[in-house]
Amino acid sequence: MGSVDYYEILDVDRSATDDDLRRAYRRLAMRWHPDKNHTGKKDAEAKFKDITEAYNVLSDAGKRAVYDQYGEEGLRAGGAPPQPGGGADDIFAEFFGSTPFTYCNTGAGTTARAKQQAAWDAGGGYFSGFSRDQGGGAPTTTVAPPPPPVESKLACTLEELYVGVTKKMKISRNVVDASGRMKTESEILSIEVKPGWKKGTKITFPGKGNQQWSQLPADLVFVVDEKPHDVYRRDGNDLVAVARVTLAEALGGTVVVLATLDGRELAMDVSGGGDEEEEDAPVVYPGYELVVPMEGMPIAREPSRRGSLRIRFDVAFPERLTRQQRVQIKRILDAAG
């Protein structure tokens, strides 16, 4: 053996398989890439070159056989180990699709690399552009597009959508770690639900979905869903409630009291004006709607504004009346026109 031990450089056993070599190269290349080691760039460049040369030799069955028998000197006797594509960055690109650390943050041409860098950051140090050749050959350079987003419902009460809330969601997802192995990791995501958000609002967490070989991680999307409420129904930015009153209350007036979604008590006088001398005062009839401005849902894009509260009345008629009661009621109604 010569002075260079390629197995030691890649930190693998002499019995290492092709998969072992790929994983070792992946781990070390990402660790020692010069653009990731700004403080010791010169040392990193030398280390990165050694790692690439070691992988070039040990991943080639013919070169590896010569090296195992005669060492580095035997290889050099037949010619120095070539570097495919002209350099260490090229073989790095064979694994990762590009060198993800050297790109500008502006310009349309950098979009793909920016997405790859984002995938690297989201994946905890694993760049998902690597894929295995099914025949056992070298890794391919194709980076498959990310899978469709994974959607999940985010159930919210009407109270939560009225005042806003922070929801904590625990997720578990499959990821490929830096060594190329699939693992399951858990994480707690914080979702800030803003006042006024509507059913169907989507909150996207890029790269927080499951990951597969040769694919970027899927995006995780939470879709707001509204739970039914006992009193209120939402209609756009308005709230709709139904008040059931007796015929006497409808004709003679009453006060309707509702508990608001933020815990206040709202009392509304539906007595028809309250002035005993007032003529032609409106009365509550089946289907009558009382509109209370600024007591509806907050408007998400204009926090200072709110919709209206619309109270629809259901009038309960008496099931039985005496003859005298009928005569009296008829007389009053006939007089009202």
Task: Render 164-200 in DSSP notation, one character per residue.
Answer: -EEEEEEEEEEEE-TTS-EEEEEEEEEEEEPTT--TT
Same fold, 1-72 and 232-323: no
CB 116 within 8 A of CB 98: yes
pLDDT tens figures, 244-285: 999 888 888 889 999 999 999 999 988 755 555 555 667 888
Q: What sections of the chain are H helices per DSSP?
A: 6-10, 18-32, 41-58, 61-77, 88-96, 111-122, 158-163, 247-252, 323-336
- Domain 232-323 CATH assignment equals 2.60.260.20: yes
Q: For 1-72, CATH number?
A: 1.10.287.110
Q: Give the angle 153-156-157 at the CA atoms, nearest 5°.
A: 150
> Residue 31: its pLDDT value, please?
83
Query: Which single residue is written with the structure tokens 């401005």?
Result: 293
Confidence (pLDDT) at 84: 43
> Structural domain boundaries of the chain?
1-72, 150-226, 232-323
SS3 content of the chain, % helix, strand, coil (to 5): 35, 25, 40
Distance between alpha carbon 178 and the CA centroid of its chain, in Å? 23
pLDDT digits (tens, 9 = 90+) for 291-314: 999 999 999 988 789 999 999 999
Question: Residue 80: its pLDDT value, please?
Answer: 46
Partner residues linked to 193 by β-bridges: 165
Asked if residue 58 lies in contact with residue 6, where contact means CB atoms within 8 angstroms, the answer is yes
Residues of the chain short of pLDDT 50, as ranges, are: 1-2, 79-86, 97-143
Using CA atoms, how far residue 165 sits from 159, 192, 312, in Å, is 9, 6, 29
Q: What is the pLDDT of residue 220?
A: 95
The Cα–Cα gap between 119 and 124 comes to 9
- Nearest of 61, 58, 53, 55 to residue 80 by alpha carbon: 53
Query: What is the CB neighbour count within 10 angstroms for residue 35?
Result: 15
For residue 3, the model assigns a pLDDT of 63
Give the fold, CATH level 3, of 150-226: HSP40/DNAj peptide-binding domain (2.60.260)
How many whole angstroms separate alpha carbon 255 and alpha carbon 260? Answer: 15
Helices (H) and strands (E) in the chain, counts: 9, 13
